[in-house]
A and B are shown apart, each in its own frame.
Chain A
Amino acid sequence: MNKVKNTSLHARKKRKLTNESIWGYIFILAPLLVFLLFTLYPILDAFIISFQKFKPLKTEWVGLENYTKTFKSSLFYQSLINTVVYTGITVPLSMLMSFVISILIVPLTKKKQNFFKAAYYLPAIASGVALSFVWKWIYDPLPSGLLNRLVSFFGVDNQNWLGSSNTAMFSLILMALLSSHGSTIIIYIAALLGIDNSYYESADIDGATFFEKIRYIVLPLVKPTTVFLLITSVIGSFQVFQNAYLMTGGGPDNKTTMVGLLIFNNAFKYFEYGQASAQALILTVIIGIFTFVQFKITGDNVEY
């Protein structure tokens, strides 16, 4: 009798589960298919291609050749160093600037907040190619160039901004610093607005200064946001491609060749998809290691 009851309960539970869950499964089907097709499949395919000499008609299996070639390539190491330097300078500075700008925006009225959020987000919706034209105009190497005219007020000689090894990387970093705050600022503002006013009121009663409030209230409470932004920014920065491609083409003397640009060139310029896939997977591993280390160092006491 008990057995019959249990079976009946199980069947009902199963039916109930099915009834409750089926819609969920149906609705996650579309994004799941998109993920499988456009994310997981390309990754698995890239992994396979990294062991091949890819050709549209006849692909050859070459084992680890693409990896050994990559590890022997001095240009790959130079591009890695370039990417690390670019990331190491761009990400912290960019985040610091975004944080400061967010702190300045938060006390403003809603209307003013919206204005500044839109103004800072504008470059994010503008075409990268259009932006590169503007920046090329700014970096005009002749004395009549905008930035050259600006620096001449300070007695600095005419600079070949994008054409000299001494200034090309700096120019790309400056471009990134001044045109990529949009989403970071919006996320920081959301985090700052989420801090309850009672903390500040309590700090006021205790006589805390502005910087003490930042240090003891704001920074700890926005830490999850900071960690999230740091990790996503580092990942994004490691994959940087567009600025180098449009502004310098990796030159001069490969001083601005980033890993992303190298992968692009191998794939679309030389049709070396195998080597490009190998380099992309190596980059994935490097990004994974960096992300793990960042989580270890900064992720303590952070809950999402």
Chain B
Amino acid sequence: MKQLKKGVAILLVMVMSLMAFTGCKKENAANDGNNDSTQKPTTTTAPNTDAQPTAEAAEPDTITVLLPPVSPTYQDYFDEWAKEFNELYPNLTLNIEAASWEDVGQKLDVQVQAGSPPDIAFVGAGSISKYIDTGLLVDISDYATEEMLNDFDQNILNYYRNGDGLYGMPAYAEVHGIGGNREMLEKAGIDWRKVQQEGWTFEEFREAIKKGVVKEGDTTKTYGFVFACSGVTAADYLNIFVKNAGMPDIFTKDLKYAYTSKNFLKLLEAMRTLIDDGSMPKELSSIDAGKRWNMFLTGQTMITGKGLSVFERSAKLNNDKIDANDGSAVEGSIKADYIILPVPTFFGNPMQAAGAIDGYVMFRGKEEPKAEHLSNVAKAMYFLASGEIAAITCNDLYISPVCQTGKDAMANVEKPEGKNEDNTKAAERLVSMISAARTDITPELGAKAQRIADEVMVPKFQALLANEITPQQMYDAVKQAAIEAFGEDGIVVD
């Protein structure tokens, strides 16, 4: 009996000790492509492999994918898509892991740093440089066929280019803009259809949002314009507006840091005047994305930002709930039809829409992957980024696909009921105005600019919105940081 007790105790201790090591085992089979790790190419840029199945390519392979809820119903289709993919390529298995928007970035980053990322991840085109720098992001130009790549709008696809490499396939191109409440816009005498078609200048915009302000005594009941500016969202406000002030990119064509231009100072002054006018709340610096959407639905603002096409759907859903006396409608909300509006232009500069291009990128692990595995991953990327899946995703987001097969597949997808066609046209017009992709900005330059944005620009901009520093002080701080990062010769002087 005593011996038995001792035996059980030893067993327990061994199990506990083993548990301490569990999780350290490196599971990298997916990145190896299959169980056979004896045949490995010497580099990731292996010779071109076409999409035609070969005897070797027919080996069983599992492709791991990490995806956020890209659209409201996107994650509901995962099992169906995995099954369809397997029917299309019987030797391939698509293993999709769902993650929330809150978790997905951090989850991916940790996996990347550990050297064991998924084969495919959903990453914005603006974020690829930091992953290129890790050496784990795969240049897909050697694995995706020409047929695949030609399916996409080339300007949008180019957002995934860096130097000579191509690092992803776009799922969609959305425009980050602003949007208004139709009834309020009309009440303020704003011809929103004309604005959608022709755009507006900052002066016109400023006057328009002044008209949207409704006061009760000293209290503002409705603001003309509210943009989410709490935390990192302040960067969106600046990044979206700066494009229309003659600075479509952080770097000029000759790779000089652009935000040291005098236009940047004038833009900051203009943005500050909107608060001083009383058209925007003086507490803007701590209004987050949820709060400003709540303000839009409850009639506390006429125009809101950042605006996306899918907001039309969100507003419509809430309107339907109000009509149905559904208690889950936003508390205190009023019926609001969402109207897509372009961002105003500044100082006579042309309209340059702020494109948000998101899509699928390919990773490798620390182990050298097999070329046929990468080829299989490219097939899976294209499967997710094109055709019916692109159509379903874009339809869900109230936008048009950026690939021809997706556009064709739209014919078979049920369109959202009651969709505002003016909005559809406005969104298409804005997508066509997305500034040309910059493939010449190196990851190193991009990383330095990002540091300035995070450590100087956003904090100072929040202080500017809170009226604690002047536009000139913010401009000086950005300029000083830019000189430290890029040198006197690396910045715009005008």
Q: How many residues of B contact A (CB 8 A)?
A: 50
Kindly state the separation between the CA atoms of A141 and B275 in the bound complex, as whole angstroms: 15
Tell me, rounded to whole Å, the shortest Cβ–Cβ distance linking B374 to chain A.
16
Q: Which residues of chain B have a CB within 8 Å of any CB of chain A?
A: 9-10, 13, 16-17, 20-21, 24, 106, 109-110, 112-115, 130, 133-136, 219, 229-232, 234, 281-288, 291, 366, 447, 450-451, 454-455, 458-460, 462-463, 465-466, 468-469
Set A56, A142, A160: member contacting B134, Cβ < 8 A: A56
Contact of B291 among A54, A140, A270 (CB under 8 A): A140
Q: How far is the CA of A26 from the CA of B21 in the complex (A)?
A: 16
Q: Report whether over half of chain A's contact residues are helix, strand or loop; otherwise say mixed.
A: loop
* CB-defined contacts of A248 to chain B, threshold 8 Å: 231
Per-residue CB contact flags for chain A residues 258-275 toward chain B (1 = under 8 Å, else 0) read: 000000010011110100
Interface size on A, residues (CB 8 A): 43
29 pairs from A and B in contact (CB 8 Å cutoff): A26-B10, A26-B13, A30-B17, A30-B20, A33-B21, A34-B20, A37-B21, A56-B134, A56-B135, A56-B136, A57-B115, A57-B366, A141-B287, A160-B282, A162-B230, A163-B230, A163-B285, A164-B286, A249-B230, A251-B462, A252-B285, A252-B465, A254-B459, A257-B459, A268-B110, A270-B447, A270-B450, A271-B134, A273-B113
Q: A57-B115, A253-B460 are in contact. Are A161 and B286 (CB under 8 A)?
A: yes
Query: Which A residue sits closest to B460, measured CB to CB?
Result: A253
**Complex contact A160–B466 (CB within 8 A):** yes
Question: Assuming A251-B459, A252-B468, A268-B110, what are 12 further A-B pairs, CB within 8 angstroms?
Answer: A57-B366, A141-B287, A142-B281, A163-B287, A164-B285, A165-B466, A249-B231, A249-B232, A251-B231, A253-B463, A270-B447, A273-B113
Q: A37-B21, A252-B462 are in contact. Are A271 and B13 (CB under 8 A)?
A: no
Contact of B286 among A58, A163, A268 (CB under 8 A): A163
The answer to whether A268 touches B13 (Cβ under 8 A) is no
Cα distance, A271 to B130, chains bound together (Å)? 8
- Does A55 count as interface, using CB distance less than 8 angstroms? yes
Q: Which residue on B lies nearest to A250, using beta carbons?
A: B459
Whether B462 lies near A163 (C-beta < 8 A) is yes
Name the one of A33, A34, A136 contacting B288, with C-beta atoms under 8 angstroms.
A136
B286 x A270 contact (CB < 8 A): no
How many Å lie between the Cα of A270 and that of B453 in the bound state?
12
Q: How far is the CA of A158 from the CA of B466 in the complex (A)?
A: 13
**Cβ of B282: which chain A residues have Cβ within 8 Å of it?**
160
CA distance A253 to B459 in the complex (A): 4
CB distance from B313 to the nearest CB of A (A): 24
User: What residues on B are CB-neighbors of A254 within 8 Å?
Assistant: 455, 459
- A286: interface (CB < 8 Å): no
Residue of B nearest to A27 (CB): B13
Lowest 7 CB-CB distances: which A-B pairs, in order? A163-B286, A141-B283, A163-B285, A249-B231, A252-B462, A30-B16, A253-B463
B20 touches A37 (CB 8 A): yes
> B219: which of A58, A141, A143 is its contact (CB, 8 Å)?
A143
Considering only CB atoms, which chain A residue lies closest to B234 in the complex?
A: A251
* CB of A103 closer than 8 Å to a CB of B: no
Q: Smallest CB–CB gap between A125 and chain B, Å? A: 21
Question: Given that A55-B134, A142-B281 are contacting pairs, would A162 and B10 also be in contact in the complex, using a CB cutoff of 8 Å?
Answer: no
Question: Does the CB pair B135–A57 fall under 8 Å?
Answer: yes
List of B residues within 8 angstroms of A265 by Cβ? 454
Give 1 or 0 for each of A180-209: 1 = CB within 8 Å of chain B CB. 000000000000000000000000000000
Residues of B within 8 A of A161 (CB): 286
Cα A239 to Cα B468 in complex, Å, equals 28
B286, A55: Cβ atoms closer than 8 Å: no
Docked CA distance A91–B17 (Å):
38
> In the complex, what residue of chain A is closest to B285 when comparing beta carbons?
A163
Question: Which residues of A are found within 8 Å of B230, using beta-carbon distances?
Answer: 162-163, 249
Of B17, B286, B462, which is within 8 A of A139 by CB? Answer: B286
Hey, which chain B residues are within 8 Å of A37, CB to CB? 20-21, 24
A29 within 8 A of B: yes
A142-B283, A265-B454 in contact; A56/B114 too (CB < 8 A)?
Answer: yes
Residues of B within 8 A of A158 (CB): 283
What is the minimal beta-carbon distance from B137 to any residue of chain A, in angstroms? 11
Question: Which has the most chain A C-beta neighbours within 10 Å: B231, B282, B284, B450?
Answer: B231
B469, A33: Cβ atoms under 8 Å? no
Q: How far apart are the CA atoms of A102 and B451 in the complex, in Å?
A: 46
